[in-house]
């Protein structure tokens, strides 16, 4: 990762400008071109430096519901359960943790009732207890690289 990559990541944490050509505006700020910045963004995603680039919606403000949840999955079933979760449109992503609760995932649903039904459905299809960890407070943490 070079200086322009760090500047790009730092700049994108503040969001894209709400203008007709946002990449042109960001390129002007970073003394680059839109094509170069988009190429770098794609490489950062392909290399795994960034895992995701996209909008963040406040689902609760839109009337929806979400939660962080976890499962304690036997190692022999880990890939199978991951595939079951990945098949559910309500699951944003899941990831492994080195802990008793070794599979963590985020659920996003249209309503609180849908969320409860999805948690129950996951219990039914996996046969595993679901640890539900709803948000109590929002914190915004940014990762900025020294320039």
Tens of pLDDT, residue by residue over 36-52, are 999 999 999 999 888 88
SS3 40: helix
85 and 122 belong to one structural domain: yes
Q: Cα–Cα distance between 93 and 70 in angstroms, integer?
A: 12
41 and 77 belong to one structural domain: no
Express each pLDDT in 122-132 by its tens digit.
Answer: 999 999 999 99
**Domain annotation covers residue 126:** yes
Q: What share of the chain is helix, strand, coil (3-state, %, to 5)?
A: 40, 15, 45
pLDDT at position 101 over 90: yes
pTM for the model stands at 0.64
Of 16-20, 69-73, 138-142, the one with minimum mean pLDDT is 138-142
Sign of the C-alpha dihedral computed for residues 125, 135, 141 and 27 taken in this order: positive
42 and 92 belong to one structural domain: no
- pLDDT, residue 136, reads 84
72 and 129 belong to one structural domain: yes
**Domain annotation covers residue 52:** no
- What mean pLDDT is reported for the chain? 91
- pLDDT, residue 30, reads 97
Q: Cα–Cα distance between 101 and 111 in angstroms, integer?
A: 26
Count of structural domains, the chain:
2
**Domain annotation covers residue 7:** yes
- pLDDT, residue 61, reads 75
76 and 106 belong to one structural domain: yes
């Amino acid at each position: 990762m070079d200086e322009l990559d760090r500047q790009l990541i730092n700049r994108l944490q503040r969001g894209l400008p709400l203008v007709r050509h946002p990449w042109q505006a960001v390129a002007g700020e970073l003394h680059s071109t839109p094509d170069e910045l988009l190429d770098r963004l794609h490489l950062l995603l392909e290399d795994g430096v960034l895992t995701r680039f996209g909008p963040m919606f406040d689902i609760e403000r839109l009337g929806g519901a979400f939660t962080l949840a976890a499962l304690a999955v036997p190692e022999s079933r880990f890939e199978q359960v991951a595939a079951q979760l990945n098949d559910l449109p309500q699951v944003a992503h899941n990831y492994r943790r080195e802990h008793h609760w070794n599979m963590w995932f985020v659920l996003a649903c249209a309503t609180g009732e849908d969320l409860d039904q999805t948690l129950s459905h996951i219990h039914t299809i996996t046969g595993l207890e679901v640890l539900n960890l709803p948000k109590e407070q929002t914190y915004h943490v940014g990762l900025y690289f020294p320039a």
